[in-house]
Structure 1
Amino acid sequence: MDEPEFTYPEVGATAGSLPPGYHHFSVHRRIGAGRALFDRAAADILAYRMQKGTGIFHTADTAVAAPGTHLTVRLGLGPLAIHAPCRIVYTLTDPNRHGFAYGTLPGHPESGEELFAVEYHPTDDSVHALITAFSRPATWYTRLGGPATRALQHLMARKYIATLHHS
């Protein structure tokens, strides 16, 4: 079976400079302190608990994030919900930074990539959650949504991070 192509050419760009021509956003919040918190938050992120905690997780091919994993998030409620397919582009497993990025596949209402990560800062023992994304509308209804769609993305990023406070 052929893999569906990502809906954008700049695959992996959340690992560096975000490409022009997209809406960019980044939410970075301190969630606490200590290596134990970092380890727990890293495990939670890699087990899709950010998506599960916000209620948008639908399916994934693997129990833990790995490059190439297909996952689907469910956006909206009831019969109007949209199943948005994604594939994990890369994972982060640095000693002080863990997480993963997924990119959109055909059928997703947006085109782009999103990174979900946690960082440990040994200099002050702090732990920070990070969501970084670039996207642009891929459907008529997300184009029509304009600023409301972007506001919803920011709200979801804050909700993702809030799930780590309760893990």
Structure 2
Amino acid sequence: MAWHEFERSVVLDSRNVAGARAALFNWQVHRDAGLRVTPCCPITLGQNATLIWAWGIVRVTAPVQVIAITEDGFTYRALPGHPEEGEETFTLRQDADGSVRFTVSARSRPATWWARIGTPLTSLVQRRITDRYLGAARRLP
């Protein structure tokens, strides 16, 4: 299957870059987007975490590993057992005008049999979760 790539950004209400970064690096965007993150601790390079998304009786676990950390954000890759194969990057940058921009970029494709047969649905879920990340970022300190 072909890779799906996207990048989406939102300008935050806050100009508190330090507070927003601290929240990002503590999985706050993910938790505020409705995911449970285990373990729930500050992000470290090489850290494995499991993102758990539940909707009614449906529960999806998505193991990831943090593969890059910069001053502006981090990248994780999907591990075996994740419905998708690929990487996702979360960054916070201050623009020249002082505004703070949060960006999510990803490159992925279905990894499990059920994600492959349900591609339209899994793409919709990925878009919804990205929308939730962007909404959660708007509420960062």
Equivalent position to 2:30, from 42, 47, 51: 51
Q: Indicate if the aligned counterparts of 1:112 and 1:133 stay in contact, CA closer than 8 A.
A: yes
Q: Distance in 2 between matches of 1:80 and 1:156?
A: 15
AA aligned opposite 2:86: G
> For residues 144 and 105 of structure 1, do their structure 2 counterparts lie closer, same or farther at Cα, with a shift above 3 Å needed?
same
The residue correspondences of 1:1-167 to structure 2 (distance < 5 A) are 21-32=2-13, 34=15, 37-60=16-39, 63-77=41-55, 80-93=58-71, 98-121=72-95, 123-167=96-140
How far is 1:77 from its partner?
3.4
Query: How many residues get paired?
Result: 139
Higher-Rg structure is 1
Give the 3-state SS of the residue equivalent to 1:67 in structure 2. Answer: coil
Structure 1 residue 81: Cα displacement = 1.0
Q: Contact between 1:33 and 1:125, CA under 8 Å: does it hold in 2?
A: no
Q: Which residue of 2 aligns with 1:17?
A: none
Q: Deviation of residue 100 (structure 1)?
A: 0.9
Contact persistence 2:34–2:53 (CA under 8 A): no
The worse-fitting range, judged by mean Cα deviation, of 24-33 and 98-107 is 24-33
Unaligned stretches of 5+ in structure 2?
Answer: none
Q: 1:69-126, CA deviations, whole angstroms, 9 ceiling, x for partnerless residues?
A: 1110113336531221111011111xxxx211110111111100001111111x2111
SS at match of 1:66: coil
Instruction: Please state whether the residue corresponding to 1:81 is helix, strand or coil.
Output: strand
- After superposing the two structures, state which structure 1 stretch, 106-115 or 150-159, moved more: 150-159
Identity of matched residues, %: 29
CA shift, 1:63, in A, is 1.6
Structure 1 residue runs of 5 or longer lacking an equivalent are 1-20
Once the 2 structures are TM-superposed, how far is the Cα of residue 148 of structure 1 from its aligned partner? Answer: 2.5
Judge conservation of contact 1:44–1:50 (CA < 8 Å) in 2.
Answer: yes
Kindly report the root-mean-square deviation, in angstroms, between the aligned alpha carbons of the 2 structures. 1.7
TM-score by length of 2: 0.89
Shift of 1:33: 5.5
1:25 and 1:129 map into 2 onto residues whose CA distance is 14
Q: Secondary structure at the match of 2:136?
A: helix
Residue type at the aligned position of 2:130: A
TM-score, normalisation: structure 1: 0.76
